[in-house]
Amino acid sequence: MKKGFAILLVCSLLLQSGCGGAEGEAPGAAGGGASASAAREEAPLLAEALGVPEHYAYEEASDSGICRVTADADILVPEVSAVDVLEAVPAVFSDSQLASFAAHCADGAAWRDAVLLNPYEGEGYRRSTSRTEDGEEVFCSLYLEEIPGEDSWYDRRQLTSSYSFSSGTGELFRTPVLEYAVFAPANPELRFFAPFPGEPGSSECKMTYEEAKAAALAEAARFSPDFAIARAGLSQYSDTASASSGNYHFRLTRSIGGVPVNPPDDRGVSRTPLGYVPETECIDVTVGDEGVVWFRFSSPIAPGGVLEEDVELLSFETIAGVFEAVALLTLEELEVYDDLERYEMKVCEIRFGYMVVPQAGEELSYRYVPVWDFYGSAYPQYENAYVPPDVGSFPDPVGASVVFTVDARNGAVIDRGVGY
């Protein structure tokens, strides 16, 4: 409790000396129309306005020497002069979207229901219900597989989609997911990134990097033209296995008004004390010589109207001050355990972008807010416990995780595990 109070007190003192935004301003009160657009065009870019350097370096250790924070990070800022806070509306995949995408993925082959083994003719989700503490949970699912031919037992397509919601409130319980995969000995399901051994495109794949990138963008564009490449690397079987040099892997997130939704490192959780919190909407695509071999669209979110226009943002100096005051404290909390040998946070990249958070006091209401995400690694090492082979090395941005998030408007530290 004392340490938590100390964190809040330090942040409060830092923000009192920072350039915080106005209090109590009504949503959208900043104005709009042609005059607002013209003002944005004339305003300096965020990097200049917020005093953002190209690189950030920092290092600090706890008194015991067990915990350490190290930052050696490039800073990525979109070339925009202002950002808004927008409504974020969790969505699901419609029956027509499923039918259209299934027809595209079949590529002339025929689908069947993988459970009932009936030929698929464009039907929508199958539904089932189960009792919960809050009423009924309705589970919607579709499992399709390619009808096998004489030569297709070892090279078959599969398409799945599922989500669930409360029959009483309509609130989502489980994240909507749409996934397509080609199962073959050389193309297992690949979810992890590995950096290119050289320049982008350093792969044994016959397809060029630019061709693979275009294929990934084309798949995402079937759902929205607003998706852009957020991460690119080589596919990897697991977080510890060596990379498969034959496939490219891309992660795409939505770009809103030139501001990207920062890419997540994993899918996180969907249920928190505040109820359902949308995971970060993203599309993962693996591309090989034969084209797209894996596609996963998780947590579709439709951007809504502008709630706050041209929000005031803290300077990067203030954001860095919050990081330097709080990051080490979050690690030191584990020093109460006698078997903790080492705990180091290493930051290799810092990104400005959007994150979806729940709106306090309003059920089923979410918004896109601007944040600073610190990417890197943070792995506690305990006595006689397993340690990943790469834990001692400095992380590569391609496979880095979000280790620290700060609200760009007020300096609040956000826990991405719970969404607020």
> HSE of 335 in the Cβ direction (CA atoms, 13 Å)?
17
The HSE-up count of residue 77 (CA atoms within 13 Å, CB side) is 21
- Phi and psi torsions of 218, nearest 5°: -65, -40
- Does residue 226 register a pLDDT over 60? yes
- DSSP characters over 90-134: E----HHHHHHHHHHHHTT--EEETTT-PBP-S---EEEEEEETT
What does the pLDDT average to over 78-98? 93
Most confidently modeled of 28-42, 329-343, 353-367?
Answer: 329-343
Whether pLDDT at 348 is above 80: yes
- Check pLDDT > 90 for residue 5: no
87 pLDDT above the threshold of 80: yes
Residue 186, pLDDT score: 42
Instruction: Render pLDDT for 163-192 as a digit per residue (tens, 0 to 9).
Output: 998 888 788 888 899 999 886 444 444 444
Q: Which residue has 């275009």 as its token pair?
A: 214
- Residue 37 is predicted with a pLDDT of 60
Q: Is pLDDT above 70 for 15? A: no
Task: Residue 192: count other Cβ atoms within 10 Å of its Cβ.
Answer: 17
Q: Give the model's pLDDT for residue 329.
A: 94
* pLDDT value at residue 180: 92
- For 141-170, how does the pLDDT look when each residue is reduced to its tens digit (9 = 90+)? 999 998 876 554 445 789 999 999 888 878
* Residue 367, pLDDT score: 93
The pLDDT tens digits for 198-223 are 455 545 667 788 999 999 999 999 99
User: What average pLDDT score do residues 76-97 get?
Assistant: 94
Residue 97 phi, psi (nearest 5): -65, -40
Q: How many CA atoms lie within 13 A of 1 on its CB side?
A: 0
Q: What integer is the mean pLDDT of 336-347?
A: 91
Res. 236: pLDDT tops 90: no
100-111 pLDDT, tens digit per residue, is 999 999 888 889
Q: What is the pLDDT of residue 2?
A: 34
Report phi then psi at 10, rounded to 5.
-60, -45
Distance of alpha carbon 332 from alpha carbon 343, whole angstroms: 8
Average pLDDT in the chain:
79
Please, what is the Cα angle at 232 between 213 and 367, to 5 degrees?
100
Q: What is the pLDDT of residue 151?
A: 55
Per-residue pLDDT averaged across 284-307, rounded? 89
pLDDT at residue number 385: 76
Please state at what angle helix 316-332 crosses helix 2-16, rounded to 10 degrees.
170
**Tens of pLDDT along 240-289?**
444 445 688 888 999 999 999 998 764 443 444 445 566 788 898 988 88
State mean pLDDT over 18-41: 41
Most confident of 31-45, 70-84, 204-218, 352-366: 70-84
In this predicted model, what pLDDT tens digit does every residue of 46-63 receive, in sequence order? 999 999 999 999 999 999
Name the more confident of 8 and 36: 36
Output the pLDDT for position 238: 45
Structure-block tokens of residue 237: 């079987």
| pLDDT confidence of residue 277 | 60
Scanning 118-166, the segments in alpha helix (DSSP H) are none
Confidence band (pLDDT; 50, 70, 90) for 29? very low
Q: Is the pLDDT of residue 232 over 90?
A: no
* 101: number of Cβ within 10 Å: 20
Digit-coded pLDDT (tens) for 387-415? 666 666 777 777 788 999 999 999 999 98
**CA pseudo-torsion sign 324, 381, 262, 87:** negative
